[in-house]
């Protein structure tokens, strides 16, 4: 919470006690925060429903078991969409989605390819080095190419979860690459065991997967194309709503004293947007803010 409000925990507690914080505090915008996360996407679902005409044959798709269904891991990158004063889109927020794949020559001939033909294969073991290469070679150049020119001098935070393959915030190779072209980009970690604090886990991935299952890829290349197409077609309005849901989850986390034992709240965002009443940032109850800041200070003193 102190990070979201842009102040230290002790400063937050002091300002609440002094009464210098507004009685109706509001979340800061998160335009300079980028969310990244990885997800496995499968070539096909374990079971699917089809509607057939009486003269049509049942579709047949054989596989030894569901363990043999081809899957590819992707890393998705999104940021908060931006609008101008007339509610026109300035920045879509869909930065990119990148598959963990490599190419190798075919070892034997088949009806689909000759020997030594380059074929696309999934990287089944995504290690720290694989993540580092992807961030430096794919993620950073894409951010520089798509980031709004008005904010290139501001500090940019890339939020990731706490899985072991993720590189540390002080990774030397990443910091060197992230400081090029006048950009200031640094990594940050979201709180552990808090998937709802990442917009990709909060609803973005489920929507992308639903769009992807409307396609029928036959190989990894077609799967990657289908995932990228679904990613680019995701409505910017929905992405903006997911970021608003993130703020609602932060409020619920504060109500639960930092626990993840809560239900994701709803506020009928689509209807509010149609009526032009959808807020950009949410307000936070000052009493809740004071109670949580007291807990943060007490925990800080106990850890000393």
Residue 295 to residue 304: CA distance in whole angstroms: 15
What is the domain partition of the chain in residue ranges?
Answer: 27-47+62-282
pLDDT score of 254 more than 80: yes
SS3 state of residue 4: helix
How does residue 280 score in pLDDT terms, banded at 50, 70 and 90?
confident
Q: Where are the alpha helices (DSSP H) in 51-139?
A: 128-134
How confident is the model over 157-168, as a mean pLDDT? 94
pLDDT score of 6 more than 60: no
- The proportion of the chain whose per-residue pLDDT surpasses 90, expressed as a percent, equals 39
Residue 256 to residue 250: CA distance in whole angstroms: 10
Alpha carbon of 83 to those of 57, 92, 237: distances in Å? 50, 9, 11
Residue 184 to residue 62: CA distance in whole angstroms: 50
Close Cβ partners of 299 (under 8 Å, ≥ 6 residues apart): none
Contact (CB, 8 A) for 61 and 44: yes
SS3 state of residue 234: coil
Name the residue among 175, 196, 113, 184 with its Cα closest to residue 152. Answer: 184
pLDDT score of 12 more than 70: no
Q: What is the pLDDT of residues 35-71, one digit of tens each?
A: 999 999 998 888 878 788 989 988 777 778 888 888 9
pLDDT score of 90 more than 60: yes
Lowest mean pLDDT among 5-14, 127-136, 182-191: 5-14
Name the residue among 136, 103, 98 with its Cα closest to residue 119. Answer: 103
pLDDT score of 159 more than 70: yes
pLDDT score of 109 more than 80: no
Looking at residue 128, its pLDDT comes to 95
Q: What is the pLDDT of residues 93-107, one digit of tens each?
A: 999 999 999 988 877
Contact (CB, 8 A) for 291 and 8: no
Q: What is the pLDDT of residues 199-237, one digit of tens each?
A: 999 888 988 888 888 888 888 999 999 999 999 999 988
- The proportion of the chain whose per-residue pLDDT surpasses 70, expressed as a percent, equals 88
How confident is the model over 155-169, as a mean pLDDT? 93
How does residue 152 score in pLDDT terms, banded at 50, 70 and 90?
confident
Cα radius of gyration rounded to whole Å, the chain: 23
Which CATH number is 27-47+62-282's, of 3.40.50.300, 1.20.120.1200, 3.40.640.10, 3.30.420.10?
3.30.420.10
């Amino acid at each position: 919470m102190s990070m979201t409000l842009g102040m230290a925990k002790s400063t937050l507690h002091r300002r609440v006690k002094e009464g210098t914080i507004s009685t109706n505090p509001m979340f800061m915008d998160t335009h300079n925060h980028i969310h990244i996360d990885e997800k496995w996407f499968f070539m096909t679902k374990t079971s699917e429903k089809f509607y057939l005409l009486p003269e049509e044959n049942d579709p047949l798709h054989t596989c030894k078991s569901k363990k043999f269904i081809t899957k590819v891991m992707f890393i998705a990158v999104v940021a908060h969409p931006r609008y101008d004063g007339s509610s026109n889109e300035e920045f879509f927020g869909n930065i990119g989605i990148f598959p963990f794949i490599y190419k190798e020559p075919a070892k034997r001939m088949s009806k689909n390819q000759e020997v030594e033909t380059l074929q696309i294969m999934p990287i089944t073991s995504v290690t720290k080095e694989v993540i580092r290469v992807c961030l430096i070679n794919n993620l950073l150049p894409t951010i520089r190419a798509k980031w709004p020119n008005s904010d290139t001098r501001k500090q940019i935070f890339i939020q990731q979860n706490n899985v072991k393959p993720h590189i540390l915030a002080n990774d030397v190779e990443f910091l060197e690459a992230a400081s090029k072209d006048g950009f200031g980009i640094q990594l940050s970690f979201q709180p552990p065991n808090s998937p709802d604090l990442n917009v990709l886990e909060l609803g973005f991935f489920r929507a992308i997967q639903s769009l992807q299952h409307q396609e029928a890829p036959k190989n990894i290349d077609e799967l990657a194309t289908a995932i990228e197409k679904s990613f680019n077609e995701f409505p910017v309005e929905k992405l903006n709503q997911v970021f608003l849901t993130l703020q609602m989850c932060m409020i619920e986390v504060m109500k639960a004293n930092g626990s993840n034992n809560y239900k994701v709240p709803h506020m009928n965002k689509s209807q509010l947007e149609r009526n032009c009443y959808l807020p950009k940032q949410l307000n936070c109850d000052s009493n809740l803010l004071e109670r949580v800041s007291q807990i943060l200070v007490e925990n800080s003193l106990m850890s000393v």
